[in-house]
Structure 1
Amino acid sequence: MNFTRLVFPGVTMIAVTYGLARYSFGLLLPNISSSFQMSDTVSGIISSLFYLAYCFTIIYSIVMTTNKGPKPMIMLAGGFAVSGMFMISASLNEWMLAAGVLLAGGSTGLVSPPYGAAIAFWIKEPLQGKANTWINSGTSLGIVATGVGAILLTPHWRYTYVLYAVIALIVLWWNYRIIPKPDDSLKVQRGLLSAKGLEGAKSMITGAILMGISSACFWTFSRSFIESSGDFSTLVLSLFWVTIGLFGITSGLGGAVIERIGLQSSYTLFAVMMGGASILLTWAPDSIPIVIGAAALFGTSNLFMCGLLIVWGIRVFESNASLGIGVPFLMLSIGQVIGSILAGSMIEGIGYAVTFAVFGAISILGSFLRTA
């Protein structure tokens, strides 16, 4: 299959599931919390459901992708995103909101492993790393779209989610038309760990969990932090989010960067950058240049690290591409469950600045892990 024919719809589906259905929640959270009068602790618990749903659906997706091929899981992921966002938009209380969050969050777990398998099926091996990192960069495009949506529709978060759900429906149809069914000659391999990957698995799992813990605080509470610290307009708050997405698009170059400087150097550099973004935000959260700088640093580093986990996972689980993506992303999501709940509780107890500094330090400490 032509590289762009598979990658373009893949980018848009990742944009829908990760960008619109999952990460947009942090941008819209202040208005949602105001509507339901939720505390930071409750907001953190509900936000954690995105990651909790991911933990269960990615396991299901790994198994079903192995048995049925990638297309059914990609279609199910799109269906979850559409229904979850419609439910969020129609929420009458926190319980209905939480149910919508579970569905929307589940879409991301369903979608990651099958694209790894689809790339393994239909993209030539020399281009597979680039295809994976470019599809992963769709998250950034989704984040940019949510920022633009917030500028145009704030504070109408319900209408925003309706619009996102309609977009998701269109993208679902496009993927249905493009993604072929595997024929009998294309079987997803069932291999587990490669011999050379046994040592790397422990470090990969630890690194993914630490990255998840550290990033959850920024994704969930960064807008609330800066909104409470300075007299920013809606435009500036939305541009903060758009900046994360715009700089995250550079994660599409992740495969080339890893080839040039190596997996270890890439991991160490971007883990430090990601931690630095949280710490920078604590320095002057009422300063527009600092706030935008922190967003740029986080967007570049966090989305790059997600792409790096794909490359690292496939090297560890080299005989099963869907497992190679699924395991590190599962560990990432477990870390985000922990981080989201912990961050909400810490913010209520010790405030935003100290909490963000602690979570930034976690990422920097994690940078000392060895990738091989």
Structure 2
Amino acid sequence: MKFSKLVLPGVTMIAVAYGLARFSFGLLLPAINESMEMTDSTSGIISSLFYVAYCVTIIYATVMTTREGPRRMIIFAGLSAFLGLFLMAVTPNVWVLGLGVLLAGGSTGLVSPPYGGAVSLWIKEKQQGKANTWINSGTGFGIALSGLGAILLTPHWRITYAIYAVLALFILIWNYKVIPEMDTGSGSKLMFKKGNLSLQGAKGSTNLVIASFILGFSTAAFWTFSRSFIEAAGDYNNVLLSGFWVMIGIFGVLGGFSGSMIEKGGLPFAYKIGSLAIASASIILALAPENLLTAYLSAGLFGCAYIFLTGVLLVWGIRVFIKNASLGIGVPFLLLAVGQVIGSSLAGMFIETWGYALSFTLYGFTGLAAAFIGPRK
């Protein structure tokens, strides 16, 4: 299969699942709270459903991709994103909203492992690293698009989600037509060999697990509270606040070059650069959150480093679990999410006790510690 024939629909599906179905919720939440009269505790519980759904579905997707191949999980991911966005657009109450959030969040877990399997099946070995990291960079495109949507349509969050649902449906149809059928027998379709789900004998898996968890923990404060931080510290209007999010997405697209850096500098070098950069973003924001230039610099650095680093973890995981690409993506991405769940919960407590600046500095130094637990040559 041609590189672009798989990568382009993959980029757009990742953009829908991560950018539109998942990360757009935080930007639209103030308007949703106002129109649906939700309390902070209710919105907090609903927001946590994204993480719950992600952790459950990424395990399911890893197992099913290993057994049946990538096509079915990719289609399920697109269908889950579409249904989730549609329910969020038409929701009459918080219960339907919560169901929509579960489906939208579940799409992110469903979509990552099967694309790793698809790349390993249909892309030439020399191009697989680039293919995986560029597909992963779709998150940046989605975040940028969700930020623009927040700027243009924030008061009209139902219309926003309706537009996102239509986009998700078109991209689902595109992937349905592009991703080939699998065959576990002796037919004319591509033969799929079942992978191995065992973690035994995978060299470097311990470091991969620890590093993924710490990086997830260290980025949780930025994902959850950075917008609130600059809103409390400076005189920013809604356009500038949404622009902060757009910066994360636009520069996140540059993270797609992680595959090229891995090829030129090696995996350990790319990992160390990424972890140092993402830690610096939190520390820079803590220094001068009231300054627009500093805030946007921090957002751009974080977006680029996060997508870059998830691309590095993706390649690292596939190299560790060399016989099962979906497991190689599922393990680090699951641990990244677990770290974010715990890190986000603790960040709220830290901010109430110590304030934003000290808490973000603490999370930044945690990210620095992750730089020393990287892959070996």
TM-score (norm 2): 0.92
| Structure 2: 5+ residue stretches without partners | none
Determine which of 287, 295, 300 is the counterpart of 1:296. Answer: 300
Could you say what secondary structure the match of 2:278 adopts? helix
The residue that corresponds to 1:98 in the other structure is 98
Deviation for aligned residue 1:370: 3.2
Deviation for aligned residue 1:324: 0.7
What amino acid is the match of 2:346? Answer: L
Question: Residue 53 in 1 paired to residue 57 in 2?
Answer: no
The residue that corresponds to 2:318 in the other structure is 314
The residue that corresponds to 1:203 in the other structure is 207
The residue that corresponds to 1:274 in the other structure is 278
The residue that corresponds to 1:187 in the other structure is 192
Alpha carbons of 1:281 and 1:190: their partners in 2 closer, same or farther (altered >3 Å)? Answer: same
What amino acid is the match of 2:310? Answer: C
Instruction: State how far apart, in whole Å, the 2-side matches of 1:281 and 1:357 are.
Output: 9
The answer on whether the counterparts of 1:55 and 1:330 sit within 8 Å (CA) in structure 2 is: yes
The Cα offsets for residues 189-234 of structure 1, whole Å up to 9 and x where unpaired, read as 4235688732x10110011111111222211222122122222122
Deviation for aligned residue 1:366: 1.3
Deviation for aligned residue 1:96: 3.8
Could you say what secondary structure the match of 2:235 adopts? coil
Deviation for aligned residue 1:5: 0.7
Could you say what secondary structure the match of 1:80 adopts? helix
The answer on whether the counterparts of 2:220 and 2:344 sit within 8 Å (CA) in structure 1 is: yes
The answer on whether the counterparts of 1:314 and 1:325 sit within 8 Å (CA) in structure 2 is: yes
The answer on whether the counterparts of 1:47 and 1:220 sit within 8 Å (CA) in structure 2 is: no
Deviation for aligned residue 1:168: 0.7
The answer on whether the counterparts of 1:53 and 1:109 sit within 8 Å (CA) in structure 2 is: yes
Deviation for aligned residue 1:30: 3.5
Instruction: State how far apart, in whole Å, the 2-side matches of 1:234 and 1:319 are.
Output: 48
The residue that corresponds to 1:369 in the other structure is 373
- More divergent stretch after superposition (44-53 vs 312-321): 44-53
- Counterparts of 1:206-217 in structure 2, within 5 Å, are 206-217=210-221
TM-score (norm 1): 0.93
Could you say what secondary structure the match of 1:191 adopts? coil
The Cα offsets for residues 252-296 of structure 1, whole Å up to 9 and x where unpaired, read as 111110121221122122112111111111211111101110011
The residue that corresponds to 2:343 in the other structure is 339
Instruction: State how far apart, in whole Å, the 1-side matches of 2:374 and 2:76 are.
Output: 36
Whose relative contact order is higher, 1 or 2, with alpha carbons under 8 Å and at least 6 apart? 1
The residue that corresponds to 1:241 in the other structure is 245
The answer on whether the counterparts of 1:214 and 1:339 sit within 8 Å (CA) in structure 2 is: yes
The answer on whether the counterparts of 2:318 and 2:324 sit within 8 Å (CA) in structure 1 is: yes
The answer on whether the counterparts of 1:218 and 1:278 sit within 8 Å (CA) in structure 2 is: yes
Could you say what secondary structure the match of 1:258 adopts? helix
Instruction: State how far apart, in whole Å, the 2-side matches of 1:261 and 1:13 are.
Output: 29
| Structure 1: 5+ residue stretches without partners | none
Could you say what secondary structure the match of 2:155 adopts? coil
- Counterparts of 1:18-33 in structure 2, within 5 Å, are 18-33=18-33
* Identity score, percent: 54
Aligned residues: 370
Instruction: State how far apart, in whole Å, the 2-side matches of 1:304 and 1:43 are.
Output: 30
What amino acid is the match of 1:70? Answer: P
What amino acid is the match of 1:208? Answer: S
Instruction: State how far apart, in whole Å, the 2-side matches of 1:22 and 1:191 are.
Output: 30
Question: Residue 166 in 1 paired to residue 166 in 2?
Answer: yes
Could you say what secondary structure the match of 1:304 adopts? helix
